[in-house]
Amino acid sequence: MFGKRSAIVTLVGLNLLLLAALILGSYSLPAVYAQGGARPGDFACVTAKAAGQTYEVLYVLDVPAHKLYAFHPTRGHTNQLAATAPRDLARDFNR
């Protein structure tokens, strides 16, 4: 049935399979830090459909500065975003 050579080849193949599973299981993606000084909760992002438009707008809330930024797609290139003037939320809400 199985010879000595077949058993060795099977065990070597099984060991290589287990080694690959161990390497893939222990691999983790590197961490990304977009801003060095930012703390968790300093920014919040949300997308929403603009009233009367077919595209969505990316809104970024800067909590410490009390500013709201909006980014929308440009007319010619849908993969590029154009920024609008930020809103000063402290002034808008009279604080």
In a domain, 16, yes or no: no
**Cα separation of 78 and 76, whole Å?**
7
In a domain, 60, yes or no: yes
Residue 34: is its pLDDT beyond 60? no
Determine the average pLDDT of the residues in 36-59.
82
Instruction: State pTM to two decimals.
Output: 0.54
- Residue corresponding to tokens 């154009």: 82
What are the start-end ranges of the H helices in 36-80?
Answer: none
Q: Which residue has better confidence, 15 or 55? A: 15
In a domain, 76, yes or no: yes
Residue percentage of the chain with pLDDT more than 90: 44
Closest CA to 53 of 73, 83, 80: 73
In a domain, 3, yes or no: no
How many structural domains is the chain composed of?
1
Domain that holds residue 80: 43-92
* pLDDT one-digit tens code per residue, 61-72: 998 899 999 999
In a domain, 11, yes or no: no
